[in-house]
């Protein structure tokens, strides 16, 4: 599959939010509290996408967003790939791009939060060289304020990668 990694544009926010919402519910519906599921509405994904478009890199093919990653400081904040692009290398390319962006900004360690029980994501992170540092409580942003959730904190030492 041919695709291009490029910074997200405002015109892509609808596609990004649709991938994010579908992927989030697929991965999290059975493992997070019902109260958090209720807060993750279509409009919440749209608003969060608009709020974070400047931090977002997309993988696109013929104008269609195949996946995206959002980087905030040294955090890989969000990353999702559409079902049609899974197994194509898009996720690995987005992961490497996120690591590069974090490293270029001077950070030596990258981190991400993975919902406890999201085994598929955890396996992908471990295959990508990330280390599970255990459970940690984080405050997630929602339309009703913050929501505390225990997550697995994954980290990657970027000094060991590509000479960064």
CATH number of residue 56's parent domain: 3.40.630.30
Domain that holds residue 34: 4-160
Top mean pLDDT of 66-70, 142-146, 160-164 is at: 66-70
If one counts every other C-beta atom within 10 angstroms of the C-beta of residue 61, the result is 15
- Could you write out the three-class secondary structure of 112-141? EEEECCCHHHHHHHHHCCCEEEEEEEEEEE
Q: Copy the structure tokens of residue 71.
A: 């980087």
Alpha-carbon gap, residue 66 to 16, rounded angstroms: 9
**DSSP calls for 72-117:** ETTEEEEEEE-GGGTTTTHHHHHHHHHHHHHHHTT-SEEEEEEETT
Q: Which helix (H) or strand (E) holds 57?
A: strand 56-61
Number of domains in the chain: 1
Percent of the chain with pLDDT over 90: 93
Average pLDDT over residues 105-116: 96
Higher pLDDT, 1 or 12: 12
Residues 41-59 have pLDDT tens digits of 999 999 999 999 999 999 9
Q: Which residues pair with 14 in a beta bridge?
A: none
């Amino acid at each position: 599959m041919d695709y291009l990694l490029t910074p997200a544009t405002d015109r892509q926010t609808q596609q990004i939010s649709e991938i994010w919402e579908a992927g989030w519910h697929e991965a999290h519906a059975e493992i997070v509290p019902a109260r958090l599921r209720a807060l993750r509405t279509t409009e919440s994904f749209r608003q969060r996408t608009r709020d974070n478009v400047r931090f977002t890199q997309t993988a696109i093919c013929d104008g269609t967003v195949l996946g995206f990653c959002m980087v905030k400081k040294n955090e890989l904040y969000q990353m999702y790939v559409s079902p049609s692009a899974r197994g194509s290398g898009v996720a690995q390319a987005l992961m490497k791009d996120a690591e590069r962006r974090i490293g270029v900004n001077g950070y030596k360690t990258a981190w991400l939060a993975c919902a406890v029980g999201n085994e598929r994501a955890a396996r992908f992170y471990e295959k990508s060289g990330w280390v599970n540092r255990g459970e940690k409580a984080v405050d997630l942003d929602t339309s009703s304020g913050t929501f505390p959730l225990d997550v697995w904190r994954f980290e990657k030492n970027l000094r060991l990668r590509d000479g960064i």
